[in-house]
Structure 1
Amino acid sequence: MSIYLGVDCGTQGTKVVIVDLDQGRLCGEGYAPHGLISHANGRREQEPQEWIDAFLSAYRQALETSAINARAIRAIGVSGQQHGLVVLDAEHRVIRPAKLWCDTETSPQNAELLARLGGEQGAMEQLGLVPATGYTLSKLLWLKEHEPHHFSHINHILLPHDYLNYWLSGRKAAEYGDASGTGYFDIRSRRWAPQVLELIDTSGRLTQALPSLIESHEPVGRVRTEIARELGLADDVIVSSGGGDNMMGAIGTGNIREGVVTLSLGTSGALYAYSRCAPRQPSSLVAPFCSSTNGWLPLICTMNVTGAANAVRAMFDFDLPRFNAEAQAAPIGSDGISMLPFLGGERVPALPDATGSLLGLSAHNLRPANLCRAVMEGATFGLRYGLDLLRSAGIRSEEVRLIGGGARSAVWRQMVADVMDTRVVCPLIGEAAALGGAIQAAWCDLSRTSACEVSLESLCERLVAFDDTGAIQPAPAAVAAYEHAYQRYVGQVDAMYHRA
């Protein structure tokens, strides 16, 4: 049997899937939530031990639902939320909670480091991208300035998925795709950029704390004996390189050729597409990350999608069916109401210190239905803003592959098709990042053990399938109506930029 395990350590929780490559099917899945340390100043942190605890819980659920003997599992692939900072001391102990991708407390440090790099142009010359608030780099400077005692004890610097790989295998390593989002990695040479870390500490200690770099098809190592025993695994199970959640989501949606765009409607939003070469850079808001398929994955990320929608839903005490029904009942453009749903600041557009806004309210249109649609439209317009940037960078968007919790809403699926003016399909297996981890684990395993070359494309063809009967085409009249509402949104964002 060719059984593989995929893990996705996200912001809200950890998902685990077990797949049977021979039969091309999902055998089992599990999920366990994480807590979040959150403060009004933008702090967003988690305890790494919670990731391990959640993995163990989700793994046991997946194993139980699969009816698979754990000893049949051949390899594990881990996907993790990007940009998080996990610091270990000389005894390999976690020093403090991990600061997450959505932490905006480090916005001043990012601005300071960008100035030290020589502005956007200097950053592009040294890294091939412009670090945004939320990247790992600014978290290190924040730690030095606010917690110098903790900073002085740093001996190892890891990303969330690197840390889980270390717990599983005992080896500290990083993969090019996830490393792209640190702010101290050159996406063109695919090497660490020590001169950037020296802007924080000139001793070279931070560079020495970085893990070794490996390619996407390489294993980190084997599962440690004590962990294998705890999980009931055989003693030769390998841990693949893993990667960032967006990189694994690309694999899990078959986004490994040009022309396809993956769009995630999660707590946050992400939009990314495969490119054979580093994309041209008309905007610093496009992150031209490396992919986990030996190419590039130009990406934009927004911070307020289903999280903002759930906030409005909770305000009216609506369940999900009622919320969707209310949004469906309102007209396109929400009867003149615009919501800029920047409840936690925003990354694209780059407004880390912004707050949310409701515009265009009147006695005539102030109704729950309009507000429900307005938050969905505002979140979707932010992603359209990003898609326009990707298109300006030369990315083609012939099809949108929609994932995330918001993809379960028929209203939202049609909205995406109409706002993006692009065909939309949904994968049959919605846990794209966890599935991508399992596919990469198979790629890594079979690249070592198969007598002939195994392509990633062939593995995706076996395991990634779509509901083509439910494919959604944009409706021309709706496309035109949304374009009017979207241009109103763009004008309002531009005005916010001028005030910032």
Structure 2
Amino acid sequence: MAYFLTADGGTESIRARVYDMKGNCLGTSAVPYQTDFKPGRVEQNPEDWWANFVRAAREAIREAEVDSSGIEAICYATTCCTVVALDENGRALRPAIMWMDVRAHQEAQEVLATGDEALLLNGAGQGPVSAEWMIPKALWLKRNEPQTFAKAHRICEYQDFLTYRLTGTWAASLDNAGLRWHYRSRSGGWASSLLAALDLSELEQKWPERVVAPGEVIGTLTSAAANELGLSGNVKVVQGGADALIGMIGLGVHKPGQLAMITGSSHLQFGVTESPIHAPGVWGSYADIVYPGRWIVEGGQTSTGSIINWLSRLKGAPLDFDDLNRRASALEPGCDGLIVQDHFQGNRTPHTDPLSRGAIVGLTLGHEVHHIFRAIMEGIGFGTRAILDAFRSAGYVGEEMTVGGGATGSDLWLQIHADTAGIPVRVPASPDAPSTGSAVLAGVGAGHFATIDEGIEAMVHAGRLIEPRAESVARYDDIYEKYAALYPALKEVMS
């Protein structure tokens, strides 16, 4: 029997899992890491990623009760746009700049102002460019920490850091590079003219030399990595990518017209097309970054589950989710007049405004924690609807949305998503999408499946369907108009 080890390097923790060839998770372990939050800035220590991965992997293998010699391949998905500056030995020169860090908002505007052809992927060339992305962050680093930038042998991502620690090889994922580095697999490769326009040409030499597509083998474990993990040095390391994109595979979203939504600290929405789509308010479409010969269209919300975590920190104690879900479920749509703007760490799409901020509007002395709890869910649901509206305007219409991640743990949140979007929501048998997608890719890299589609058919299994409720859909239609009016009104106030 063949087994696959996966890792999901998220915002809060890294989770390791062991899968068999049927897609069954046999063992799992998660280890949290420390995150340093400051206004507009979020950082982590890359050494924590490696130490926690080793710890989680060993525990997952122990829990799986399998012979470690049966593990044939490792594949992993991590947060995208978490940028690291590394020396020749793969050691971090400074804390990693996390994906949700928006310090480079001015640099992002300068990237857009170049008008380079590589920007076609950003709202059909009209932008905006997000402060989250690789090039704005690298430009910020060069300007504000020039010694670190000059000393850096590699400026890459969380994904690439793990790859080097596992294999001793510098290799970027085509998924991350095509998604956020403006790499074009079909024409041009690296965005050299864009870097030159920004006086940033040396960055190209600091990026990994190889670009490897998801499902392709990067190499095998180094003796040091094999020893730390307790595995054979023959274990193949297979390329993964951005957690949300690899999550598409784990959700079984691989055909044109399907919609995927990956939930966690943030939400990301994706569709699959057989031809490119470029439109304002929509990111992409990106060629070949997940499935060869297909394009991915994208939207996303920067703050979703992280707002629930914020509420817990504000309360000063862990939230009783069973009680909150029960009490919030008894409320009518609209939470007695509350509306939440879900831009607590800026907006990714359709506005792409890193300076936008969250808001809770309509508070009275009669509102309690469960009102705010549900209003947060509704505000996030409205943010998702705004993205799906942008998709429709661009010509991409999905009739059903498959969901994975943290939101699948709440029946209330799933129902709110179905009701605010006005379409059915499907949850697969295993909602841990990035890990399941990584297992599929590991199976492809190990040679058990000829294509990713074949791996999906073997390892991803159907789950349940949540239908929208007509009465709630109508109520939310009215409330959504008020939600949509908040952004322009608050933007004027905040500016």
Matched, 1:463 2:465: no
Determine if the alignment matches structure 1 residue 48 to structure 2 residue 46: yes
Q: 1:474 aligns with which of 461, 468, 492?
A: 468
Aligned partner of residue 273 in structure 2, secondary structure: coil
State how far apart, in whole Å, the 2-side matches of 1:425 and 1:76 are. Answer: 28
Question: What is the aligned length?
Answer: 486
Q: Percent identity over the alignment? A: 28
Match of 1:254 among 247, 252, 255: 252
Give distance in 2, aligned partners of 1:262 and 1:497. 29
Question: Partner residue of 2:34?
Answer: 35
Structure 2 residue corresponding to 1:288, chosen from 278, 285, 290: 285
What is the aligned partner in structure 2 of residue 207 from structure 1? 204
- Cα 1:218–1:193 change in 2 (3 A) is same
Which amino acid is the alignment partner of residue 31 of structure 1?
A
What's 2:480 paired with? 486
1:198 partner SS: helix
Taking the TM superposition and a 5 Å limit, the aligned residue runs for 1:27-426 are 27-40=26-39, 42-115=40-113, 117-118=114-115, 123-124=119-120, 130=127, 131-186=129-184, 189=187, 191-201=189-199, 204-211=201-208, 212-279=210-277, 281-290=278-287, 291-294=289-292, 295-316=294-315, 318-348=319-349, 349-362=351-364, 366-426=367-427
* Amino acid aligned to 1:360: G
Q: Check whether the contact 2:124–2:280 (CA below 8 A) recurs between aligned residues.
A: no
Q: d(CA) in 1 for partners of 2:314 and 2:48? A: 29
Letter in 2 for 1:402: V
Change (3 A) 1:310 1:232: closer
Q: Answer whether contact 2:282 2:297 (CA < 8 A) is retained.
A: no
* Further displaced range: 188-197 or 142-151: 188-197
Name the amino acid aligned to 1:282. A
Please report how far the alpha carbon of residue 345 of structure 1 lies from its aligned counterpart in structure 2 after TM superposition.
Answer: 2.2
- The amino acid that maps onto 1:444 is G
* Letter of the structure 2 residue corresponding to residue 341 of structure 1: D
- For 1:126 and 1:400, how far apart are their aligned partners in 2? 23
Deviation at 1:4, TM superposition (A): 1.1
User: Is the Cα–Cα contact under 8 Å of residues 187 and 289 in structure 1 kept in the other structure?
Assistant: no
Distance 1:54 1:466 in 2: 32
How many angstroms does 1:127 deviate by? 11
1:495 is aligned to 2:489: yes
Moved more, 208-217 or 57-66: 208-217
2: CA distance between counterparts of 1:482 and 1:132?
A: 29
Aligned partner of 1:26 in structure 2 is: 25
Q: Is the 8 A contact 1:400 1:423 kept in 2?
A: yes
Whether contact under 8 Å (1:85, 1:100) holds in the other structure is yes
SS in 2 for 1:352: coil
Aligned to 2:12: 12
Please state how far the C-alpha of 1:125 moved relative to its aligned partner: 8.0
Distance 1:314 1:213, change over 3 A: closer
Alignment of 1:428-467 (within 5 A): 428-446=429-447, 454-467=450-463
CA contact (8 A) 1:176 1:190 kept: no
Structure 1 residues 195-252: Cα deviation after superposition (integer angstroms, max 9, x where no partner)? 22223435x4221122221233321111112211322222321111211112210111
- Which residue identity does 2:235 align to in structure 1? V
Q: Tell me if structure 2 keeps the 8 A contact 1:313–1:372.
A: no
Q: Secondary structure at the match of 1:192?
A: coil
The 3 A distance-change label for structure 1 pair 495 and 127 is closer
Q: Is the 8 A contact 1:326 1:373 kept in 2?
A: no
Task: Say which SS state the counterpart of residue 496 (structure 1) adopts.
Answer: helix
Q: How far did 1:455 drift?
A: 2.7
Task: Note the aligned Cα RMSD (angstroms).
Answer: 2.2
How much does 1:76 deviate? Answer: 0.8
Unaligned runs of 5+ in 2: none
Contact kept, 8 Å, 1:127 with 1:183, in 2: the verdict is no
Q: Which AA in structure 2 matches 1:136?
A: M
For 2:364 and 2:81, the matched residues in 1 are separated by 41
Is the 2:123–2:281 Cα contact (8 Å) retained in structure 1? no
Shift of 1:367: 3.8
In the alignment, is the contact (CA less than 8 A) between 1:406 and 1:412 conserved in 2?
Answer: yes
Measured in 2, the distance between the counterparts of 1:429 and 1:246 equals 15
Alignment partners' CA distance in 1, 2:66 and 2:110: 52
Q: Where does residue 428 of structure 2 map in the other structure?
A: 427
Q: Is the 8 A contact 2:121 2:286 kept in 1?
A: no
Structure 1 alignment gaps of length 5 or more? none
1:288 and 1:298 in contact (8 A); partners too: yes
Contact kept? 1:81, 1:101, Cα under 8 Å? yes
How far is 1:313 from its partner? 4.5
Q: Decide whether the 8 Å contact of 1:419 with 1:482 is kept in 2.
A: yes
Q: Whole-Å Cα distance in 2 between the matches of residues 252 and 190 of structure 1? A: 30
* Counterparts of 2:237 and 2:7, CA distance in 1: 11
Distance in 1, matches of 2:85 and 2:322, equals 42
The 1-side partners of 2:400 and 2:12 are apart by 28
In structure 2, the CA distance between the partners of 1:229 and 1:361, relative to structure 1 (3 Å rule), is closer
CA contact (8 A) 1:128 1:187 kept: no
What SS does the aligned partner of 2:276 have? coil
The alpha-carbon distance between structure 1 residues 377 and 127, as it changes in their structure 2 partners (threshold 3 A), is closer
- Distance in 1 between residues matched to 2:352 and 2:202, nearest whole Å: 31
Q: Match of 1:264, SS?
A: strand
SS of the aligned residue for 1:343 comes to coil
> How far apart, CA to CA, are the structure 2 residues paired with 1:326 and 1:257?
39
8 Å CA contact 1:418–1:475 kept in 2: the answer is yes
| Letter of the 1:15 counterpart | R
Distance between the aligned counterparts of 1:2 and 1:320, measured in 2?
Answer: 38
